[in-house]
């Protein structure tokens, strides 16, 4: 497989993996609370539809909206910590897949909630309303996580993978 094809494939697989984990967390919670209505696919992504008017609030609402981002970012940290084991794998496709998956998991939710939510809302609404705290506090926390995760990716993750790639070239 050519380098370009591999990059496209692993990027697509990383995003699909993210969607399965992120939206899957929403689906599991919606089913557990008896509020699952279906899925909506749009240009903005996948949305888990729930019963309206909203029948959950407080911590349940905050968990329904926020747990998915905690799971995806947490999974990104786990993948990062597994980097040494991943790099001993001989398969370049697997290495590339885990690299891009780690990037997506570490960066996408903090970016979405801290910046993109200014334009589209989303999970931040449930987190803020459920916890009874201002949107800007949630955005600030997620922005700090975004900055830390970008620094982690630039200073730690990227150099490990580039060093491995150069040593095999």
Domain boundaries, the chain: 3-168
Taking the C-alpha atoms of residue 136 and residue 88, their distance in angstroms, rounded to an integer, is 42
Q: Helix, strand, or coil here: 92? A: helix
Q: What percentage of the chain exceeds 70 in pLDDT?
A: 99
**Per-residue pLDDT at 43 exceeds 90:** no
Task: Using CB atoms within 10 Å of the CB of residue 118, give its burial: 0 to 12 exposed, 13 to 18 middle, 19+ buried.
Answer: exposed
Whether 31 shows a pLDDT value over 90: the answer reads yes
* Distance, CA of 80 to CA of 99 (rounded, Å): 8
Output the pTM of the full model. 0.91
Give the Cα separation of 101 and 80 in Å (integer). 10
């Amino acid at each position: 497989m050519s380098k370009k094809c591999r990059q496209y494939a692993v990027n697509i697989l990383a995003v699909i993996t993210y969607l399965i984990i992120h939206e899957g967390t929403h689906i599991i919670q919606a089913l557990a609370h008896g509020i699952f209505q279906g899925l909506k696919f749009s240009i903005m992504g996948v949305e888990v539809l729930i019963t309206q008017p909203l029948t959950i609030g407080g911590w349940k609402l905050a968990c329904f909206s926020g747990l998915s981002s905690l799971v995806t970012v947490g999974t990104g940290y786990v993948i990062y910590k597994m980097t040494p084991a991943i790099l001993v794998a001989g398969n370049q496709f697997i290495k590339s897949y885990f690299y891009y998956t780690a990037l997506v998991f570490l960066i996408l939710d903090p970016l979405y909630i801290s910046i993109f939510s200014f334009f589209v809302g989303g999970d931040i609404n449930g987190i803020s309303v459920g916890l009874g705290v201002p949107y800007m506090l949630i955005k600030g926390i997620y922005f700090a996580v975004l900055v830390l995760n970008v620094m982690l990716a630039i200073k730690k993750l990227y150099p490990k993978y580039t060093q491995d790639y150069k040593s095999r070239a």
